[in-house]
Amino acid sequence: MPTSAPEPLLQVKGLSAGYGKIGVLKGVNLVVNPGEIVALLGPNGAGKSTLLRSISGLLPWSGEITFSGRDMAGAQPRDCVEAGLVHVVEGHRVFTQLTVEDNVLLAGYGMPAAQRRVQVEEALDFFPEIKAKRRDKAATLSGGQQQMLAVAQGLVRKPKLLMLDEPSAGLSPVLVDRVLAAASQLRAGGTAVLLVEQLIEKSLAVADRAYAMVRGTVVLEASANEPDLPERLERIYFGLEVE
């Protein structure tokens, strides 16, 4: 007998959201399956960050969001984290007056102490550059290192789905590769990743599937290994193709 496809980990249907009276998202549909990397691409202002903020409970929305079989209507950010959905927001939001280690420990607040200690070490192991500075205040880190710290914070709880919003911002090419390699390691361990990025080729190199957004709507869904996908995305970015 043929095996049935796995249930989606995250399913978004007809999602609309915005800021006050300003509508941004217009009926967005998106699926992330267990253990896959999905790249969410599109020009600035397309609504990608708004979509992530809606999914993680930071913005009110209408439509339907289901995560790990749970209806997320009315869910607050803490509910999302407890369900296994972690959002690393754009702009390396870290506590600059705390040490690197304390920033990561804080991300595991509420976990059993022994478990938290183990998972803090595992999160720091992804980024040796900041692990070596664990006793230093986050304010002493470069912008790129603060971005790595923000990602490490997101890893502490071993989420089922990690949503990364522009993780390459402020990073050198070498460190961009390091962050994206961490995403691949997470997938190998069974964690799904929803990746918002401007670096198209690097994103597609690690992703299984890709969505493109324009003006608050999804205009393309494709396998990341489709040979003409970079060209199609380039046309979308320049407003030459909308499916």
Please return the burial class of 197, using the count of CB atoms within 10 Å of its CB with bins 0-12, 13-18 and 19+.
Answer: buried
| Percent of the chain whose predicted confidence (pLDDT) is above 70 | 96
pLDDT for the residue numbered 1: 45
Name the residue type at position 153. Answer: Q
Question: What are the structural domain ranges in the chain?
Answer: 1-46+55-84+159-243, 92-157
3-state helix, strand, coil in the chain (%, to 5): 35, 25, 35
What is the spatial distance between Cα 133 and Cα 170, in angstroms, rounded to a whole number?
Answer: 19
Q: Is the pLDDT of residue 234 over 90?
A: no
Tokens representing 201 are 């080729």
Mean pLDDT of the chain: 91
- Confidence label for 241 from pLDDT (cuts 50, 70 and 90): low
What is the spatial distance between Cα 223 and Cα 150, in angstroms, rounded to a whole number?
Answer: 28
More confident residue, 93 or 142: 142
Q: Is the pLDDT of residue 180 over 90?
A: no
pLDDT in tens, 81-135: 999 999 998 876 899 999 999 999 999 988 899 999 999 999 999 889 899 999 9
Give me the CATH topology for the region 1-46+55-84+159-243.
Rossmann fold (3.40.50)
